[in-house]
Amino acid sequence: MNFHPLLLFFHVAGVVVWVGGMFFAYVCLRPEAASQLEPPPRLRLWRGVLARFFTWVWAAVALVLASGLALILRLGFAAAPLYQHMMLLMGLVMMAIFAFVVFVPYAGLVKAVAAEDWKAGGAALARIRRLVGTNLALGFLTIAMATLGRWL
């Protein structure tokens, strides 16, 4: 049985959840929340939104990594084209950034909101914003590599 289409579906579905979610949060939710909410409710909102989103991202990361490795190993790692190796590298960097966001600035946001330390919460959220912006750019670059790489 040919599992390539199923693996590709899982891979793309994981990317849609992860990169699409970052796009929505960064481009749509963030500016609107900043313009309408004062720091306490805004930081509480982000703590809750990110808790839900990060649960989905952990699943998406597992799906993207497992399906991506399966797809690359079907050819053999050495036989895979350069753009696929670059996609793997960028994906691993994105995963490392995501894990850092969860365990460092997001953990700080959770603690700050619980302590009602709005200044520390704002600083944690600003750090998350910068790292999500970096990951969003890497995500689009990875998508470009996936769709255009074989022709470059």
HEC secondary structure over 15-64:
HHHHHHHHHHHHHHHHHHHHHHCCHHHHHHHHHHHHHHHHHHHHHHHHHH
Tokens of 114: 């619980």
Count of CB atoms situated within 10 Å of the CB of 64: 25
Q: Cα(99)–Cα(97) distance, rounded to whole angstroms?
A: 6
Q: What is the mean pLDDT of the chain?
A: 97
Sequence spans of domains, the chain? 4-151
Per-residue pLDDT band for 72 (boundaries 50, 70, 90) equals very high
Percentage of the chain beyond pLDDT 90 is 95
Instruction: Indicate the SS3 state at residue 82.
Output: helix
User: In this structure, what DSSP letter does residue 106 have?
Assistant: I
Q: What is the pLDDT of residues 35-45, one digit of tens each?
A: 999 999 999 99
Count of CB atoms situated within 10 Å of the CB of 66: 14
Per-residue pLDDT band for 29 (boundaries 50, 70, 90) equals very high
Check: CB of residue 147 under 8 Å from CB of residue 78.
no
